[in-house]
Amino acid sequence: MAQTGASFTCTACGAVHRKWAGRCDACGAWNSIVEEAPLSTGPGARVPRSRGRRMALSGLAAEEAPPPRTRSGIGELDRVLGGGLVPASAVLVGGDPGIGKSTLLLQAAAAFARAGLSAIYISGEEASAQIRMRAQRLGLAGEPVRLGTETGLRDILTTLDAERPDLAVIDSIQTMWLDSVESAPGSVAQVRAAAQELVGFAKKRGAAVILVGHVTKEGQIAGPRVVEHMVDCVLYFEGERGHQFRILRSVKNRFGPAGEIGVFEMTGSGLSEVANPSALFLAERDRPAPGSAVFAGIEGTRPVLTEIQALVVPSSLGTPRRSAVGVDSARLSTVLAVLEARCGIPFAGQDVFVNVAGGMRIGEPAADLAMAAALLSAREGLAVPADTVIFGEISLSGALRPVSQTENRLKEAQKLGFSRAIAPMRSKGGAEQGMRVCHIPDLAALTGVLFGAG
């Protein structure tokens, strides 16, 4: 049987190489290139037709009803999904080991089953007894969810095709293997082929499929990135094991807004949703202390208030330490450089630590001004007023750039009892919300506003 030339794929990034090498040129990973089975081109291989059929085309103005959705009743999950679960959709959920992915999806399967969907939960990692023990602990033992444990994808697809469920949960995609692919389970070829088969089943049968994905030490879903392109929705389950809060973040959603978050609290009886995360993140903030500033941020379509904490202490090391938890370390370095270059406030010879309370992760540049306020407060030993929220993006020149959705940030702050805000010039809103907004043009004016008479 004639065969095409073998191809070599990087297990870290999915890049294809013509020959084996010890180091991937695309991502720089060592010993990550493996050989993939060649495609058959012999007499038994499928020969493509010389001419395809003509496609049906339609105009942009054609009206089509939005896809129907099924709500689970778990408000935070429905929010992240864009309003509910869409039939014939594929959802990929990733997260660190032990973060609570299986717990969340077992609760979600039970919730959708209560809503009238036929749900099947298939695990390739745990035995049936382990899943039943978890269901008893969560109080879900009597829910109409059917359970299966299998790793062979052919058997799984045959079962799903016979049962015709409305929802299928596959835990996890890295444990599935396809007999037609000559690679070990978890390899790039197996993960890609298994994902393609399951997504094809979802589109063909109209069932919603939720895939669980392992993550690498960098926090990315293991396997080729093409899997994230194949599915309709990619969710990341975030959180620190030392905190009881868990955040479900949407990084891709074809049926709703990307960047949306849902906040859960880990309890003895499972994950419970948090309807007002701002109040929860600020619950332990009893009195103002040096090095603390409240940031009014936007996560997806939801305003969320979080506390940014900073600690500045003299360093005994030749190179002072810079530690950032919950914020980008590059943004911290930029803010420190602008404070020294444009405001004349040095941090040389001092260790700097920045943390976001509650295990929250902030990615938007609007947190720059609140981070600078926390750093100045920690350095000077003066507390930021307790009724003040801060937001704004800092440019390299020291000027402040306005941010989006100022009105929503101020409304959320006023709802939680804040009466004053520090924001960049040209920011909209403020008076109609009953907030006193102090507009400052640059970073140099922040010190006077925080600790001066104004």
Looking at residue 454, its pLDDT comes to 39
* 19 within 8 A of 8, measured Cβ to Cβ: yes
Q: In CATH, what number is assigned to the domain containing residue 357?
A: 3.30.230.10
Task: Tell me: do 173 and 107 sit in the same domain.
Answer: yes
**φ, ψ for residue 445, nearest 5 deg:** -80, -10
Looking at residue 242, its pLDDT comes to 67
Which pair of tokens denotes residue 333?
Answer: 């370095």
What confidence tens digit (pLDDT) does each residue in 111-128 have? Answer: 999 999 999 999 999 999
- Between residues 34 and 349, which one has the greater pLDDT? 349
56: burial class by Cβ within 10 Å (0-12, 13-18, 19+)? Answer: exposed
Looking at residue 3, its pLDDT comes to 47
* 11 within 8 A of 221, measured Cβ to Cβ: no
- pLDDT band with cut points at 50, 70 and 90 for residue 453: very low
CA 107, 112, 116, 122 dihedral sign is: negative
The phi-psi region of residue 344 (left if phi > 0; otherwise alpha if psi is between -120 and 50; otherwise beta) is left
Rounded distance between C-alpha atoms, residue 361 and residue 346, angstroms:
27
**φ, ψ for residue 431, nearest 5 deg:** -70, -40
Looking at residue 41, its pLDDT comes to 44
Looking at residue 268, its pLDDT comes to 83
Rounded distance between C-alpha atoms, residue 16 and residue 20, angstroms:
10
Task: Tell me: do 317 and 436 sit in the same domain.
Answer: yes
DSSP character at residue 47: P
Residue 86: pLDDT over 80: yes
Q: What is the mean pLDDT of the chain?
A: 88
Residue 101: pLDDT over 80: yes
Task: Tell me: do 312 and 384 sit in the same domain.
Answer: yes
Looking at residue 57, its pLDDT comes to 86
57 in any annotated domain: no
83: burial class by Cβ within 10 Å (0-12, 13-18, 19+)? Answer: middle
- pLDDT band with cut points at 50, 70 and 90 for residue 1: very low
- pLDDT band with cut points at 50, 70 and 90 for residue 33: confident
Task: Tell me: do 82 and 19 sit in the same domain.
Answer: no
What confidence tens digit (pLDDT) does each residue in 142-174 have? Answer: 999 999 999 999 999 999 999 999 999 999 899
- pLDDT band with cut points at 50, 70 and 90 for residue 181: confident
Task: Tell me: do 191 and 320 sit in the same domain.
Answer: no
60 in any annotated domain: no
Residue 40: pLDDT over 50: no
- Between residues 1 and 290, which one has the greater pLDDT? 290
Looking at residue 429, its pLDDT comes to 60
Looking at residue 46, its pLDDT comes to 55
What confidence tens digit (pLDDT) does each residue in 308-327 have? Answer: 999 999 998 889 999 999 99
Residue 365: pLDDT over 90: yes
Q: How far is CA 188 from the centre of its chain?
A: 22
Looking at residue 433, its pLDDT comes to 58
352-381 average pLDDT score: 93
46 in any annotated domain: no
Task: Tell me: do 269 and 292 sit in the same domain.
Answer: no
67 in any annotated domain: no
**H or E segment to which residue 328 belongs:** none
Domain boundary among 254, 274, 294: 274
Give the percent of the chain with pLDDT over 90. Answer: 59
Task: Tell me: do 334 and 396 sit in the same domain.
Answer: yes
Task: Tell me: do 239 and 314 sit in the same domain.
Answer: no
C-alpha angle 356-359-360 in degrees, rounded to nearest 5? 65
Amino acid identity for residue 216 in this structure: T
Rounded distance between C-alpha atoms, residue 364 and residue 81, angstroms:
21
User: Taking the model in full, what pTM does it have?
Assistant: 0.80
Task: Tell me: do 79 and 116 sit in the same domain.
Answer: yes
Domain count, the chain: 3
What confidence tens digit (pLDDT) does each residue in 222-231 have? Answer: 666 788 999 9
**φ, ψ for residue 63, nearest 5 deg:** -90, 135
Q: In CATH, what number is assigned to the domain containing residue 227?
A: 3.40.50.300
DSSP character at residue 4: P
Residue 304 CB neighbour total at 10 angstroms: 22
61 in any annotated domain: no
Task: Tell me: do 255 and 321 sit in the same domain.
Answer: no
Looking at residue 293, its pLDDT comes to 95
Q: Is 357 helix (H, G, I), strand (E, B) or coil?
A: helix
Task: Tell me: do 157 and 264 sit in the same domain.
Answer: yes
117 in any annotated domain: yes
Domain boundary among 231, 247, 274: 274
Structural domain that includes position 363: 280-451
Domain boundary among 274, 309, 326: 274
77-94 average pLDDT score: 95
Task: Tell me: do 319 and 440 sit in the same domain.
Answer: yes
55 in any annotated domain: no
* 27 within 8 A of 13, measured Cβ to Cβ: yes
Give the percent of the chain with pLDDT over 70. Answer: 91
3 in any annotated domain: yes
Residue 297: pLDDT over 70: yes
Among 394, 416, 383, CA closest to 289: 383
What's the residue count for the chain? 454
